[in-house]
Chains A and B, each alone.
Chain A
Amino acid sequence: MISLIKSPKEKKLKIINISGGTGVRRRLFSLGIHKNDIIILDSCSIFRGPVLIKNLTSDTSVAVGRGIASKIMVDIIE
């Protein structure tokens, strides 16, 4: 289990845990990011900017800041 920030790009990842404040977690859920979802880390910006999560389970893309991304734990599945 590694944090999303440290995960490789373009690999299938499974969300194992989302920690952090209630507000942030609720916001992620409502944007369709849940535990057990399969995601791909799409791109990172050149500066230490946000990461782009492509959620294969709900077929959506969400950009999250690095602080939040570091609280999303994933397993590499492919």
Chain B
Amino acid sequence: MNKKEKIPDIVFIGQPNSGKSTLFNSIAGLKAVTSNFPGTTVKHTHSKVTVKGRLFNIIDLPGTYSLNPSDEAEKVALTHLFIEKPDLIVNVVDASILGRSLEMTLELLEIESPMVVALNMMDLAEKKGIVVDPKKLEKILGVPVVPTIASHGRGIKELLDRAFAYFDKGLKPKRLVWSKDVEDQIHYVEKVIPEEFKKVANNRFTAIKAIELDRPSFNRMLEEISAPLKERVLKARNNLEKNHGVPAYEVIAAERHHLALKIFEDCCQLTRRKKASFSERIDDVIMHPFLGYVILMGVFVSFFLVIFLVASPIEEMLLGPLTGLREAIPKYLGTGILFYVVDGLLQGVGGGIAIVLPYFIPLLLLMSLLEDTGYLSRVGFLMDELMHQIGLHGKSVSPFILGFGCNVPAVVSTRILESRRDKILTSLLIPFIPCSARTTIILALVAFYLGPVWAIGFYFFNMILVAFLGRVISMFFKTPSPGLILEIPSLKMPSFSNMIKKVYFQLKSFIGFAWPILIAGSVVLGLLQFFHVDETINVILSPVIEHALGLPKELGVTLVFGFLRKELSLIMMLQALGVNYNQLLTVISQQQILVFTVFLSFFIPCLSTVAIIWKEIGRKWAMVSILLNTSVALLLSIITRLIFIGI
């Protein structure tokens, strides 16, 4: 094998929660995002690393339970695996649930690419009383098996050493044999696979997948490629079904299952009869039919309490000097164009530091804590029935909760949902979840000027709105939600360094993407004011702002910036009205603040959210989302005006 021309690709693949991303991180550095909720690596992460003087391209694929893709994250993994044909596969396996994990290992072996198995979470397996014999497993599978504890960085050096040695020798795994009648059917199909057939691996793998993939579109494709092949595939499926009384794909799934269990029994020993472990006892409480919900409520309340207790004081601390600085500039710069530019710059930079970061960081940290411990899956279980009421199921809880931090990653995470219907519905509802930016606005305007009770009421009303919209929108979909199938991984002690890495990763994308927009937007607004263009925008928007909502027309221009980022509107509002934060009530009434907050919260998903919805579910739905949000915002704010201000 000539490896000098191309940088070899090493692909990390494993089932969700196998610790794959953690292992990848410790090799690649701060790249992939990990968690203890099925399916967080929804995009694959590339990284070039030099190990022992050799350059490798390492790729972290989304967690996948099998090579039969059922959700988008899994499709990403498979497409990559099949199209880019990696030079080496690192299969990360959770040793504590080896029996099931091996099913995918067996599937990967069928590709017959060079592979190593990282037997991860050995510590957890030991706690469960499972002693795995890696040597024996290695002998059976015919590929290197290296025990690792990725969260502590253990076994990684050996894994790399063995992987390279295996890779350099160009070894391939050995073929494992199934029951005779299944093997017979595979041979029967294998024999007629035409030479020119575009194979992702060997003939045997192709034959197995052809038998398994019982879908009309695939059958039509077979017909086009080779009629005899299609005939044999159909016959093989029929034979298997006749002999076993279940569909062919189930026969093959059962083959892997039995083989995996046999291997598990052969190379594992159960040292002690398991009694309820500590984590199982915790589970009994947090998933209890009554206590579970009490705890869930408590978690949510403290979640927000912590954010506000931490964020508000920090925000005030940071805002003080900023206001001072802004007041001082005219002394040095006069009131010409330079003043407007510098003032805009200060607003933008300060807005990022003082308003967004204090809320963002604690929210992201807490979120990753919920994810990494495995609590988020349990929330999915507890909330399933409630989510059914709004036309979804428990798995959508995770995107929603992420939405409280930022709508953008929330929309991306809808990839974990299997059905397109659920994905669309969830993505349309996410922009109604108050993200940290909108929470900031609600706090800064409603809580500060109308009192905390109003802010809580606002939140409560917001949740009811989401539920109501979910119910209404789901009526437009003919097919019901397919229902929940969600793995509940064992509870894990979160690794602090992992959490920090994850927060850093998300923060980096904020600083790299949103902050520059925020700064540029503030400068542009400064310039608009200098050239008096803002007045034109205000005039254009005045039918909505002044007549429909009864607000000062100066607020029109702030909405334009609210589209860039919601929190910009808050900064811009003060700038547009020409007052400091604590003087707000001199120019606008409490009721007007309420109307403005209602409109601002819902009126349009911010630019990044629209972009991500466009990317994830298409332009049509991005437009629907804009239309939906704007009409709901208009309707609600007019109602708010009628109730609190009158006509």
A residues sitting closer than 8 Å to B (CB atoms) are: 21-32, 34-35, 42-50, 52, 55, 57-68
Contact = CB atoms under 8 A, between A and B. Distances in A.
Contacts of B290: 46
Given A43-B288, A45-B289, A45-B382, A63 B488 contact: yes
Contact of A34 (B96, B128, B257, B483): B257
Contact of A23 (B70, B128, B384, B394): B70
Contacts of A32: 97, 99-100, 103, 257
A13 to B, nearest CB: 17
A62 B382 contact: no
B239 interface: no
Nearest to B481: A65
A58 B97 contact: yes
Interface string B378-396: 0011101110100001100
B223 interface: no
Nearest to A62: B487
Interface in B534-562: none
A27 B100 contact: no
Interface string B351-391: 00000000000000000000000000100111011101000
Given A58-B99, A59-B100, A62-B485, 17 more contacts: A23-B482, A26-B68, A26-B70, A29-B250, A30-B65, A32-B257, A35-B250, A42-B287, A45-B292, A45-B385, A46-B293, A49-B381, A58-B261, A61-B489, A61-B490, A63-B486, A65-B393
A47 to B, nearest CB: 4
Interface string B58-92: 00000001101010000000000000000000000
B511 interface: no
Contact of B485 (A31, A43, A49, A58): A31
Residue from B68, B261, B384 with most neighbouring chain A CB atoms (10 Å) = B384
21 contacts: A22-B247, A23-B70, A26-B66, A31-B485, A32-B103, A43-B284, A45-B292, A45-B381, A45-B384, A46-B293, A48-B385, A49-B384, A49-B385, A50-B486, A59-B100, A60-B97, A63-B377, A63-B384, A64-B483, A68-B483, A68-B485
Given A62-B485, A63-B484, A65-B484, A43 B287 contact: yes
Most A CB contacts (10 A, CB to CB) among B261, B293, B485, B487 go to: B485
B214 interface: yes
Interface in B177-222: 214
A44 B292 CA distance: 11
A60 B288 contact: no
Interface string B416-433: 001000000000000000
B281 to A, nearest CB: 13
Contacts of A35: 246, 250, 254
A24 B293 contact: no
A41 B590 CA distance: 54
Interface of B: 65-66, 68, 70, 96-97, 99-100, 103-104, 128, 214, 246-247, 249-250, 253-254, 257, 261, 284, 287-290, 292-293, 377, 380-382, 384-386, 388, 393-394, 418, 482-490
Contacts of A47: 385-386
A20 B219 CA distance: 21
A22 B248 CA distance: 11
Nearest to B381: A63
A70 B128 CA distance: 31
Contacts of A55: 100
Contacts of A27: 65, 70, 418, 485
A60 B17 CA distance: 12
B382 A34 contact: no
A63 B483 CA distance: 10
A68 B484 contact: yes
A30 B489 CA distance: 15
A45 B488 CA distance: 14
B68 A30 contact: yes
Given A49-B382, A60-B100, A65 B483 contact: yes
A43 B288 CA distance: 7
Contacts of A50: 381, 384-385, 394, 484, 486
B221 to A, nearest CB: 18
A41 to B, nearest CB: 13
A61 B483 contact: no
The 9 closest A-B pairs by CB, nearest first: A32-B100, A65-B483, A49-B385, A30-B66, A65-B484, A30-B65, A58-B100, A46-B289, A61-B488
